[in-house]
Structure 1
Amino acid sequence: MLNYLQKMFIGRAQRSAIVRIFFAMFFILGSGAFGFTVWAQTTDYPWFAVREDGSGPRITNVQAAFTNARTLTVSWQTDIPTTSAVEYATRAQYQAISNYPFPSYKEDETYATNHIVTISNLIPNETYFYKIRSIDQNLVETNSPINNIPGVSSPFPSTVVAVSPTPGSILGTRMVFSWNAVAFVRGYIVYFGSAVGGKDIYSTGPSLNLNTNVSIKNIPTDGRTLYLRVWYYKTSSGWSYNDFVYKAFAPTVSPGGTEISTNPGSNQSVLGLAAVSLAGAIKTLFQNFLEFFGLGW
């Protein structure tokens, strides 16, 4: 304390002795008798607050919440600048702990009074135990009481379980394929081809995309079997995929040699079918007319 006061008043000889004594008594009584926080200048972090009585920082306003099933955010405040750290463990790990520290932790060595720590890649539906650790400029450490928070489940399934159109459907020349969102994915890639896992007809390319639908055109109309593969990537487990099988549309031929298209993906095919049906009706009516008058066909 004496060294601190000497540094503080060097070069201030012009001040009266009364002012010097007043400030000296204030700091001595304030920091020693009443535990006031004083500002201590350091080389690395100028004008950071530490407690001259050696007591640690005070942790208040602790809050914790899952932002999704695998991400936990913990926030708190300290009365003086400190580092930020959260130690955490699953229920099974916590019950097995005989000595600290916890098996996992997330730390930020930046000095601050408002603290937020985000922990990722947690286990869904798992209860986590955690405690906060804050260290001030004097390397005095304060730990919060141990808290726990129940885990949450993901609103999405862990794999692709539903796709449209229904697998096994006969496809038109242009189709929109859609599927359910998958929990915790970073993106999707889609292949569509004539073989399992093939992409000779369509591919979204190497870049991940969070869209859960694709529009594919120029689908063959030769009756072949077609395959849709939906790839998805998770940080925790890497790449996975699901395959779905479809049938290409195959035009039929009428007894008179006229091609009849019933392609569900083409408006022109519907008009073509209507025209063929109308021509057949006119032909039948004309045959009946000739037979009525005994003229034959």
Structure 2
Amino acid sequence: MNLKNHNNLLILAKKLVIIQLLIAVFASILLPSGPVLAQEPLTISNIEVVQNDKTATISWRTNRAAYGKIQWGITTNNYKWSLQSGKKDVVQSMTITGLFSETNYYFRITAWDDTTEVTSFEQTFQTKKLSDNKAPTISNVTVAYLTGRTATIQWETDEPATTEVEYGLTSGPYNQNKGDGALKRIHDITLTGLLDGSHYHFRVKSKDKDNNVTTWYDMTFQTKLTEKTDKDALIIYDIKPAAENDVSITQTTAVISWRTNKLAEGWVRYGTTSNLGTTVSTNPPRDFTHTITLAGLTAGRTYYFEIQVRDVLGKEIKTEKYTFTTKSTPQYQTTNQPGTIGSGSVLGATACNIDFKTDLGFFGAYYNLPEGHPDVGLPLGGWSKVGRENDWYSSQYFSMNRVDGNLVFGTNFFPLNEGKPGDPNYFAVNWRAIISVPQDGYYNYEISSDDDSWLFIDDELTSNLNGIHPAKPETRQVYLTAGYHKLEIFYADRAKRNAWFEFKPDNRLKFHPLPTSCEIEDVLDYNNSGVGGGATTSTGSTGQVLGVKTTSGATTTSVSPYVCNPNLGYTKFKALYKTADSPDIWAILETGQKHYITSPEAFNKYQCDWSKVKTVSKSYLNSFPNANLVRTPQDPTVYHLFQRADVKWLKINIPSPTVFVSYPNNYWGNVARIDILDIQSYPDVKLISVKNDPKVYLIENGKRRWIPTAAVFEKYNYEWAEVVELNQIHLDYYEEGATLN
């Protein structure tokens, strides 16, 4: 081999070595050095929910980037709605909206990537109580009393709120203020240390529990020229009852009244001996005239009482002791009857021998609830059961029967005190009566209670003041036909504080006791038998209430074609619809209109079936016109609903038939009967205008007040979106009030 060939072989060998080295390097980079590992499973963790009354934000993590979806519903394992994320990430967060307040929701999360999909176990959350963003409504602002050095200012709010007055010698800024942080509806405050004979500016403010504040407009007062009024003696006069036959005294109640020369609050102390023992106070606000009803008294008994008062400056005086004697029990009444109600021994020889000529009043069955009963001693709040659905009116708690001449007991209504734990609190009463109606027409009544009360006319619920609450009033108007109607009232005191009940009916009506064992027909039979002195009306035995015949008779049943109970007095529901992107449920009425059901509570009041809710397209749902003329089955007041996209829905009552027909598209046949819960969910219209007129008015206490400029409008934080348009006839219905400054 020559030298040249030898060199060529060396060069070739070197090249092969280099190539092998390069192959080894690339192999170490491109090929794994060990066995291939399996991919880790996709997992969901750290699920968190942050919710309020209408929305819930749900977040979670996955162990690697993935897409996500939430499915949810209001019953377990029944997910009617879903929301999907469009991003791939290890942390996901989505907010679901349009939820009902105080409602349990069930949900699950699904996550997936290119190779795996995983679903979480079912989770749950409850939305919070409806957040109140409505400020208190202030009304009846009054300078109730002035002296040289003081001014007492009173007003009311439509919900419990604080009390505050800003004041000064100029209209602003005010350099002084006085307040009370307690939440109340009736506000009564005295400004002291004022200059006599001086002109003051002031405005009142109230803030509710959700920190919504309402500020009243600037008002003025002038103190008395001297301090003489401040130094005058406090006097009590015109004390009643003044005679034994006073009409304010019945078998079980007595109305004590008096007057003072100064604005004052007061107390009555009373008892069966001169040592007295029981104290009852007047209700706010302070006044010059005072009335207290003593209830639960014993018939034919002498009582002692004295009156004590305190004026706005803190001066106190009291009277000497007076006496009165309650009226004796009539022959037909037997109280403290042992055993169960309905035994036939309550009113004389036979239980139903009520004489329409002589027997007047309300038959009351009284029940003493034990301190350990699960329904008593609870905090303030609503109550779902109605009347006899509660066991408070069962024989195990029965204490006595009696006939009450009237049902105006006022505060401190404590008729039972048997020495049991909890007495005299925690009791229930069921009053029954026959209403004698002289002629067809509308009749008014007022009812107020602390705590629960329910009122039925001919077994139709017309007032529902349920729950544990301070004294709550309600005024109703019902249409009654001539004849006899059944009245039934249920009341309960379930908290350790004042017990209050009052029922004030139309004075054209008469009431006859209706024992628990009797119906109207039984009493009519007694009066038509010749034994009783009364007689039926020429129109027959019973009348009609709210268009519902109340005479008894056979009934037939059939399968209902409706999706909710059609026998509750509401306009009948033919279908229940929702859309895929919203939880809102709409009822399709037999009138062809759609009605928005505002809450699960209202849904249940209609006794609807969740399984009958169907999902439809938006265009199909929108093909039904809104039911914007509504009323309740019990109240003839008609409201127009302003249902506007992306703007707060509002309501306004149509005050007369003339106003109703002045709108060309209003037809009486289109008025839908819906539940009061749905009507109450719409705030009242406050700001109005007329087409082609730039003037805007504030509705206040039945009057319209012109808002002259945009600056004044914005001064009170009004919203232009809440101005609604009326016609001229409707606007003219409101009396013109003072211009708003």
Q: Name the TM tier (shorter chain).
A: 0.3 to 0.5
More helix by proportion, 1 or 2? Answer: 1
TM-score (norm 1): 0.40
* RCO comparison, higher one (Cα < 8 Å, 6+): 1
TM-score (norm 2): 0.17
